[in-house]
A and B are shown apart, each in its own frame.
Chain A
Amino acid sequence: MMSPDRNARDLTPETAAPTDIAPLGRPAEKPAHERTGEEDAALADWEVIEADPDFIGLLKSKAAFVAPATAFFVVYYFALPIGVGWYPELMETRVWGAVNVAYLFAFSQFIMAWILAGLYVAVAAGWDRRAAAVIAKFQGQGGDQ
């Protein structure tokens, strides 16, 4: 990519800058993450892939998990502040020794988050395979890949 002597004059702090500085005004390529959609338009036939049944199937399968899972965790999470705010008697009911419903409900949020994350990872492995199949199908078309 850039030759060492060019780098030597480039004072850009390249390590760990979250926006990494593009070599503006310097004779080097823009970093990949800064390329715009237009600059990458020739990479593939995006509209063709978008209309591909396999790709549409992948999107549907993702939505079928993510939408209900998101709805579930939002409802479950906000049930906690709503519960302690408007139903204090119920929440202060002691279940085990001094431990009340409010604490157990809060604790269950951790378990809920871990379970949902685990399910997501399990389901997402299937999406990776389908995405790889879509990429394989269109590899080499339209662009210079």
Chain B
Amino acid sequence: MMAAAATASGDRTALIMFLVFVAGTLVITYFSARKSVGASAYFAAGRRITGWQNGLAVAGDYMSAASFLGIAGMIAFNGYDGFMYSVGFLVAYLTVLFVVAEPLRNAGKYTMADVLAYRLKPRPVRAAAALSTLTVSVFYMIAQMVGAGTLVRQLIPGVSYEVAVIGVGILMVVYVVFGGMLATTWVQIIKAILLMSGSVFLSILVLGKFDFDLGKFFSSLTAIPSTGANGEVITRNFLTPGLLFKNPWDQISLGMALVFGTAGLPHILIRFYTVPDAKTARASVVWAMIIIGLFYIMTTFFGFGAASLLGPDYLKEHGGTNMAAPQLAYELGGEIFFAFISAVAFATILAVVAGLTISASTSFAHDFYTNVLHHGKEHRPGEEVKVARITAFVVGAAAIVIAILLGPSVNVAFLVGLAFAVAASANLPVIVFSIFWKRFTTTGAVSGLLVGLLSSIALILVSPDFMKDAWFPLKNPAIISIPLGFLGAFLGTFLSREPSAEKLFAELKVRGNTGLGAEKASSH
């Protein structure tokens, strides 16, 4: 096999093609974003977005580097257990559809802070919500930085992973801070289309290697050789569960993080405010589920295909776990396809990072700095924007440092799984209680957010991947930290009383279920 040539020999063709593709994507997205959004606010423009367009945008937001680079690598190295990520990422949308999408859309709220501040005391809940949004965003960004770092290291010979991460990180932060926001709806739509086309093409090429015979394809997975820890060659059936998760509780905990975490992700929740009514909100979830579902089914072909056609040993030598999909593209489609897939992955990372940085920094600047520290008043005009920019730098720097400490061999899907665990533990309990529980109080919201946030982070830090002789045996903390988040929210509520919040429950219930008042709000 000769894929190594793309990276080791100093051949610049792939790099040049990559830059051309990235530049092309940026130009296309820049013009389409400008044309369709113009000077008017994103959300107002979003109200004209149709169901399938919003569905594509949701899919674009969701299919980050983790889905493409991460899951492909997970499956290529661990077989069936990696595919569990694909399943969890899709089923999660049922939680979004059944529990949160419509009440949030109908009530006219688009961030968790908005929902909480509606009935509860705005200052403390906005502060706690900002903290949790910031944390989830940093976790999500670390994964994207690791992905971008490995990609660039592979494309530019002689650049170390550390330099690649710092370079890419600075580029992204500068771009977000000074260049403004690119991750608008249209950017995500175009990105989703490119990613889907790339995946379809890659899957077809894989199946072509097996004469388009599914039976032959699956048979090839029953004996994948790889080198064990002591240098011995082991042959494993990649369709057998348990190659990665020796402990069944690991699977359950990961499943909980994925299925309950999506409904707590800030950049997904916001998408349901961009459509004109509840019907379109529903339609967009369904469109997103169709696209995302097809994409995750295709991970079967390019994930298992990388295992079968290239093998774990080869991939370990050539970029590691996060480079399975691009390496497969090189093997099957040559340099140009490799460059295309890398460019799509990179554009994906860029768009997701831009969205996350903006969401983290504005929520901190607005919800925490201005609302909490300055009692809702800007001391000087533009102060809030300045704080948002500084926050963006700090968040970016934190993600860069952690990404370097973790190194290139950490799978990005695994890292995003941790972000989902934090979102599920901190955000989901308070969102659910504030929509469905009349007696819910400010104390309950703050304690639920903090308990979920701190317990999930603490358990991650003492888990096997971050600590030798780990105190906590599972790779993902969700199975413990989600119940703790609920418990924190419950106990905080139980120990306090807030008649004003109870009084407003009728209003939230009526609005959340009928949409009364939301249309009026939209004319704003």
Contacts and interface: CB of A to CB of B under 8 A. Distances in A.
Contact of A33 (B114, B267, B366): B114
Contact of A1 (B91, B111, B524): B524
Contact of A103 (B95, B239, B282): B239
Nearest to B383: A25
Contacts of B241: 84-85, 88, 91-92, 102
A110 B297 contact: yes
B385 A12 contact: yes
Interface in B509-524: 509-510, 513-517, 520-522, 524
Contact of B94 (A73, A121, A131): A73
A15 B248 contact: no
Contacts of A15: 37, 41-42, 180-181, 184
Given A19-B111, A135-B514, A81 B382 contact: no
Contacts, number: 261
Interface in B480-524: 500, 504, 506-510, 513-517, 520-522, 524
A121 B215 contact: no
B388 to A, nearest CB: 7
B183 interface: yes
Interface string A38-58: 101101101101100001001
Contacts of B191: none
A124 B97 CA distance: 11
Contact of A78 (B41, B252, B266): B252
A100 B111 CA distance: 42
Interface residues of A, number: 82
Nearest to A30: B524
A121 B239 contact: no
Contacts of B388: 13, 21
B487 to A, nearest CB: 19
B125 to A, nearest CB: 11
Contacts of B522: 32
B420 interface: no
Interface string B249-287: 101101100010000001100100100001100110110
A33 B108 contact: yes
B418 interface: no
A32 B521 CA distance: 5
Nearest to B181: A16
A18 B513 contact: no
B94 A113 contact: yes
Interface in A92-131: 92, 96-100, 102-103, 106-107, 109-110, 112-114, 116-118, 120-121, 124-125, 128, 131
A100 B254 CA distance: 22
A73 B91 contact: yes
Contact of A113 (B93, B254, B520): B93
A106 B290 contact: no
Given A16-B42, A113-B289, A121-B286, A21 B80 contact: no
Nearest to B129: A19
Interface string B84-120: 1001101101110111001000001111011001110
Interface in B296-315: 296-297
Interface stretch (B319-327, B339-347, B370-378): B370-378
The residue among A21, A55, A69 with the most chain B CB atoms within 10 A of its own CB is A21
A61 to B, nearest CB: 11
Nearest to B182: A16
A97 B504 CA distance: 59
B43 interface: yes
Nearest to A83: B241
Given A15-B181, A98-B219, A135-B515, A85 B381 contact: no
A107 B365 CA distance: 43
25 contacts: A14-B41, A18-B110, A18-B358, A19-B111, A19-B114, A24-B378, A25-B381, A33-B109, A46-B507, A49-B510, A50-B510, A55-B510, A59-B509, A62-B513, A73-B94, A80-B84, A81-B252, A84-B241, A110-B90, A110-B293, A117-B94, A120-B98, A121-B283, A128-B279, A134-B516
Given A24-B378, A41-B507, 10 more contacts: A15-B42, A17-B362, A46-B506, A77-B88, A85-B249, A96-B215, A109-B90, A113-B90, A117-B93, A135-B516
